[in-house]
Amino acid sequence: MSSGELGAKDPSAHRKPPRRPGRPARTSKAALVETVIALGLDSFTLTEVAARQGVGESTVYNYVSGRDELYRVAAASVFEQLDIDVDASTWTGYVDAIAERCFALAKSHPGLREYLLYGPYEASTLTIFEALIDRVQAWLPDIGEHLAYVLASRPVVTTLAYLDDPVLEPAAPWLRRALLDGLDRALAGGDLPPAPSASWRTKLRR
């Protein structure tokens, strides 16, 4: 019997085999991060991330150890959006602008503030911190790295600490600038803190 005769007698002969049920077993870490950012750093669940990616929740664990790691990686990815190039004439103007940009970034991505304040930090975040310290030292070449870290970070921390506080958030820019002015006067008067016994990197990598 010819193949044509077989097809004529058996209508299913030319049908495509049915697709096997089941979800695709692969995604990527970058895709997971994008999904977390879309869902929200402060509210995503691994179940939601897996569903958006069309994979089983167990597949997510092929790329990260769990929700905490996925949160850190996603928060670091958001922080990489920070533009550290500022047209400023003083170190205080530079740090003030950076603090304002960090505030705006954290405001638009709820959950980022906790990462920036408490860590633990991904390597890309530490690289940004180092770049900010370098910028401050470019204006203040006579100060040590530890003091540059204080000058670059504390105004940012002061600003982020009051994010979403209905009473104190409006005062955050004023408090930050008052802190910057005070730090600048202390530097001009030679009033410097003692050098710490450990590097700022040791503190942030704990």
Question: What's the average model confidence in pLDDT over 111-132?
Answer: 96
Residue recorded with tokens 């879309």: 38
| C-alpha dist (Å) from residue 165 to 94, 119, 159, 161, 199 | 25, 21, 11, 9, 32
Write the pLDDT tens digit of every residue in 160-206. 999 999 999 999 999 999 999 999 999 999 999 998 888 877 767 65
Domains of the chain (ranges, CATH numbers): 22-77 (1.10.10), 80-204 (no CATH)
Q: What is the pLDDT of residue 202?
A: 76
Q: Which two tokens stand for residue 176?
A: 């930050």
Residues 6+ apart with CB under 8 A from 152: 95, 98, 129, 132, 133, 135, 136
Residue recorded with tokens 């930090």: 121
Q: What is the pTM of this model?
A: 0.84
Res. 116 pLDDT band, cuts 50 70 90: very high
Write the pLDDT tens digit of every residue in 141-159. 999 999 999 999 999 999 9
